[in-house]
Structures are given as structure tokens and as C-alpha cells.
Amino acid sequence: MFTFITGAASSKKSEYGEALAGACGCSKKIYLATMENKDYNLSRIEKHRKMRQNKGFETIECPVDIIKASALIKKDSVVLLEDLPNLLANELFGEGALKSGDAPLVIERIIKGILELEKSSKQLILITGELLSSGSNYDQSTLNYLKNLGLINRILAKKADCFIEIFAGRPFFVCKKEK
């Protein structure tokens, strides 16, 4: 089962994803953390750690190359991947990032990695964001990043079994019919 959760910043999508992971009944809960552990991220990282505290998650730090994480996942696990915008930013702009013209390779690698996570787990919950709706006065590299995120979101939303948009703290569902 692949669940795609999106929403604006501070929409409570992380809390919803954690609750969904807790309710799925899987024997193992894995939190794939994509935020790089840098000084400027420490307060956000600490906020998310406190949110997960005492909820039984095993945290795996995976800021890049998400496909490697699929080898660590057991089939009876629920995987909460938090979040796609960070993963893409790390892949495009972080240490060891590919050249800027290699965005199609980055996109392909991210999609392949997420689909591998889906195969290797009982349930995959992907948290992403609606960053394009927050403005348009950006430099070209930021616009390219936002367009690439939008492309990945569209591709993965089509592949998901369930699409959830969190708006004003409330979930809105679109689920595929059972096969």
C-alpha cells in the first residue's frame, strides 16, 4: 500500500502521517528522515523527534540516495518517508549533488527509490509538500527545483493507492478502488 500525503507548510501532514503509520498494525514502524542534520535544521529536526517520541518509530537518517534504505526495510514494516521536498533539495543542492543539468537523473533516482521502498514494505507513507503555491518571485534555480518537485509529485501521486491532501489540518482523500 502506497499512501501519498501532501499539503502546505504547517498543515499537520506530518502528524497525520505518523497517526496513519501507528494505525496500520504493522509490527515495525520506520521513519525515514530526509532532513540533513545541519545547524540551520536542528530546531525542525528536534520538533519532529519530539512528535515521534514514544510512538515506536525506528529512525533511519537518509538525506540522499533513498534507494539504499529499501535494503534496510522488512516486508512487515510501515515506512514513513518525511519528506520529499527535503530529499529533492539534498539531491540537487547538497554535498555531493550532481551537476545542475542532471536533474532528470535525480528525478529518476528518487522515483525509483520510492517505488523500491513501496515494494520492500507493507505500507509506504510519503510526505510531500505544495511549495509551488507559496509564491512565484524566485530565482531560476529555485523555480527549476519547484518544477522538478511538482513533476515528482504528479508522477508519484498517480502511482499511489491513496492520495491525501491535508488542508487546514483536515484530510481529504482520493483512494483507488481495490483491484
- The verdict on residue 7 lying in a domain is no
pLDDT digits (tens, 9 = 90+) for 86-132: 999 999 988 766 555 688 999 999 999 999 999 999 999 999 998 76
Residue among 111, 90, 102, 109 at smallest CA distance from 153: 111
In the chain, how many domains are there? 1
Q: How far apart are CA 148 and CA 37, in angstroms?
A: 23
**Which letter does DSSP use for residue 38 in this model?**
-
Name the pairing type of β-strands 162-167 and 170-175. Answer: antiparallel
- The verdict on residue 3 lying in a domain is no
Range of the domain at 159: 17-175
pLDDT digits (tens, 9 = 90+) for 22-53: 999 898 999 999 987 666 566 766 776 677 67
Mean pLDDT computed over every residue of the chain: 87
Residue pair 148/24 in contact by the 8 Å Cβ criterion: no
Q: For residue 128, give the CATH number of its domain.
A: 3.40.50.300
- The verdict on residue 6 lying in a domain is no
Q: How far apart are CA 153 and CA 141, in angstroms?
A: 18
Residue pair 28/77 in contact by the 8 Å Cβ criterion: yes
